[in-house]
């Protein structure tokens, strides 16, 4: 099976993202989790911190690596000789947002296919923004994020 890129902001990685990584690691020979370096979006964690947290969370998967990219995803996938983009779908709203991106990415790189993986039951309600809100107010992060991410969130907000 081809090489796949799973792109996103991952600010920070959640158990929802991890669920998609696990499924992609089963389906593809190689999976690159690619953190978008987007200077226009204010993020809690730096790109390096996000990559470090993802590395810690995916270390069990020998065919998964972590990288970052700037610019167009279509160019980055070409550079990585990856023909598949993986995106998770939690809801119909995700689907509506993802379809135009999938079409546009294929227009920009004719080799590129987007594969949508449904979020597993139990993690479909998780988003990085909600997790940050909960962490900011000292709420329980159990089941929402990997342990390293929970610790990093506590350090950011409560140190």
Whose CB is nearest to ligand COA? 16
Per DSSP, the residues of 4-39 read EEEEE--TT--HHHHHHHHHHHHH-SEEEEEEE--T
Contact residues for 113 (Cβ-Cβ < 8 A; gap 6+): 83, 84, 85, 106
Please say if 41 is a catalytic residue. Answer: yes
Contacts with ligand COA, 107-126, as mask; x by CB under 6 A: ------------x------x
Q: Determine if 37 is a binding residue for ligand COA (CB under 6 A).
A: no
Q: Determine if 43 is a binding residue for ligand COA (CB under 6 A).
A: no
Please say if 17 is a catalytic residue. Answer: yes
Residues 53-112 that bind ligand COA (CB under 6 A): 72-74, 88, 90, 101, 104-105
| Residue 42, strand partner residues | none
Contact residues for 147 (Cβ-Cβ < 8 A; gap 6+): none
Looking only at Cα atoms, what is the longest distance across the chain? 48
Q: Determine if 25 is a binding residue for ligand COA (CB under 6 A).
A: no
Indicate which residues carry an active-site annotation: 17, 41, 90, 128
Q: What residue ranges bind ligand COA (CB under 6 A)?
A: 7-9, 11, 14, 16-17, 20, 36, 72-74, 88, 90, 101, 104-105, 119, 126-129
């Amino acid at each position: 099976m081809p090489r796949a890129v799973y792109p996103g902001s991952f600010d920070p990685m959640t158990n929802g993202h991890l669920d998609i990584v696990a499924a992609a690691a089963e389906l593809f020979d190689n999976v690159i989790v690619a953190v978008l370096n987007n200077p226009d979006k204010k993020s809690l964690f730096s790109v390096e911190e996000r990559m470090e947290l993802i590395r810690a969370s995916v270390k069990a998967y020998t065919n998964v690596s972590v990288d970052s990219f700037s610019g167009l995803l279509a160019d980055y996938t070409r550079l990585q000789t990856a023909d598949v983009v993986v995106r998770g779908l939690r809801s119909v709203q995700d689907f509506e947002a993802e379809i135009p991106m999938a079409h546009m990415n294929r227009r920009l790189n004719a080799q590129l296919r987007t594969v949508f993986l449904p979020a597993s039951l139990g993690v479909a309600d998780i988003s990085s923004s909600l997790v940050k809100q909960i962490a900011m107010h000292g709420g329980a992060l159990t089941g929402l994020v990997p342990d390293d991410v929970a610790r990093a969130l506590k350090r950011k907000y409560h140190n």
